[in-house]
Amino acid sequence: MKLTEAKLQFIASWGAFGTHWGINRTMAQIHALLMVSADPLTQDDIMEELNISRGNVNMNIRELITWGLVDRILLSGERKEYFSAEKDIWKVATQIIKERKKRELDPMLKLLGTLENIEGDKRDKNVKQFVETIAGIRKFGKQADQMLDVMIKAEESWFLAGMMKMFK
């Protein structure tokens, strides 16, 4: 397989992958393109490679930047902005984890905390089931939260080395 074809395939499947994770297809495709590009690209480069409009590129690039996955790069002597993606997949993963934790897990845990304290007779099986379910999810969520915190802070090597040793 040639580079051009492989690149297209990678971009396409990274895009499809993204849609299963609440990330829109184009955003994931731009990310994929930038990850496999040795040099930074301009908006026009991206438009051309992916056949999408300027506005679309602009919006999704900005989103990638707020996710901390893409950097704006200014080359001296150049008028245009260039964009480049973080290529260390561990950094990519921890960045995504950090953001999603903040946006999704933390608020959910907060809500579960309030829901656990409902009024009502604990002998009512529906009250009992509700409280138990919420408590169970909350406990699980807290543990995941802690685990992810460690992961975010951990260095790639020792974390995985330790992890894998533990499970062998």
Which residues make up the interface to DNA (CB under 7 A)? 19, 24-26, 42-44, 51-56, 58-62, 79-81
* Closest residue by Cα to residue 137 from 120, 115, 152: 115
If you ran DSSP here, which 8-state letter would residue 104 be given?
Answer: I
**Per-position DSSP letters for 115-157, written without gaps between them:** HHS--S-TTSHHHHHHHHHHHHHHHHHHHHHHHHHHHHHS-HH
To a second copy, the closest distance from the beta carbon of 136 in angstroms equals 5
Q: Alpha-carbon torsion 5, 47, 96, 94, what sign?
A: positive
Binding partner of residue 66 among a second copy, DNA, none, CB cut-off 5 to 8 Å per kind: none
Piece of the chain touching a second copy by CB under 8 A; list 40-48, 60-68, 76-84, 132-140: 132-140
Nearer to DNA, 82 or 159 (CB): 82
Nearer to DNA, 58 or 129 (CB): 58
DSSP element (H, E) containing 12: helix 3-19
Segment 30 to 89, residues that bind a second copy, using CB under 8 A: 35-39, 87-89
Pick the binder of a second copy from 65, 74, 75, 93 (CB under 8 A).
93
* Closest residue by Cα to residue 27 from 54, 3, 68, 62: 62
Binding partner of residue 39 among a second copy, DNA, none, CB cut-off 5 to 8 Å per kind: a second copy
